Amino acid sequence: MAEAIGPTIRRMQLGKQLTQVRKEAGFSTPKAAVEALDISEAQYRRVELGLSGFRKLADLVGVLKHFGVTDKDDLAHFTSLHKDGQNRGWWSSYAKTMSSGMKIYVGLEDGAKSIRAWQPGVVHGLLQTERYAQALFATHKPVDELTTEEVMRGVELRMERREILARENPVEFRVVLDEAALRREVGSQEVMHEQYEELIKLCERSNVFIHVIPMNKPAYRCQADFAVLDFGEGLPTAVQMDMTDGEVRMTDKDAEVRTYTRRFDALRDGALSTDETSKFLHQLTRKS
């Protein structure tokens, strides 16, 4: 069965290929490319970045003709990417409870081939049990003034996001956790015991690689959590960072991607191996 590709990745593919044909047509910048068109530079830039699509198919056709793309097969290819990118992802039903940055991230997460992540404070969201997530959201509810519905939808979204680990073509997920995140009680000892057992099960998956940095090891640690997402298809790698105000920041700038790749490698190198992590988690279950 062919792998389903979500709308976010289709928009990224469209943007990358548009950038290529624009440069081949002799337009060095997006501003130069749209000066003679009825499209704003800001809108066109967002299309090239894969953040949005054209409002109308006619806008895409006009841009392609402006770039000298007239071959029927080429036009059909770009039209297909545009239409696929206009589809609504499964996460759109949660739109009211997500920030704009989170909407973009979930779409990218859903389309990633591999994810490398660091999570020092809590168990990573893709590894959380439902009861752990509920307890975590409960602690945030009064502080962030969340409604009961927002908490419920937030937990549902987190559980649905986990499907990328178990689908037919699962994402390869490599994550480094700080031991402190596993020692910190969320909900109750019973909730934590259940969470430890879930992590042990996840360690058995061929696409999930969990590493833990022991608290007593003088290893490199990065204060803020982040994720490095790879998409294949010749698409740029992206980095996601959680900000202190709760917003999600995304970047695909080469310098920042290299920086966070080095940070992940350093974190992983200072952590327990996957086999050692599994043994460590079994020890936690016996103590909880």
Instruction: Tell me the mean pLDDT per 10 residues along the chain, length 288.
Output: 68 91 92 88 90 90 93 92 87 84 88 96 97 96 91 95 95 97 95 97 97 92 93 89 77 93 97 96 87
What is the arrangement of strands in the sheet containing 238-242, beginning at the earlier edge strand?
208-213, 172-178, 114-119, 226-230, 238-242, 248-251
- Check residue 260 and give left, alpha or beta (phi > 0: left; psi -120 to 50: alpha): alpha
Half-sphere exposure (Cβ direction) of 98: Cα atoms closer than 13 Å: 20
Neighbours of 26 (CB within 10 A): 10
pLDDT of residue 246: 64
pLDDT of residue 150: 92
pLDDT of residue 1: 32
* Burial of 250: CB neighbours in 10 Å, binned 0-12, 13-18, 19+: middle
pLDDT of residue 2: 40
pLDDT of residue 286: 86
Q: How far apart are CA 129 and CA 152, in angstroms?
A: 14
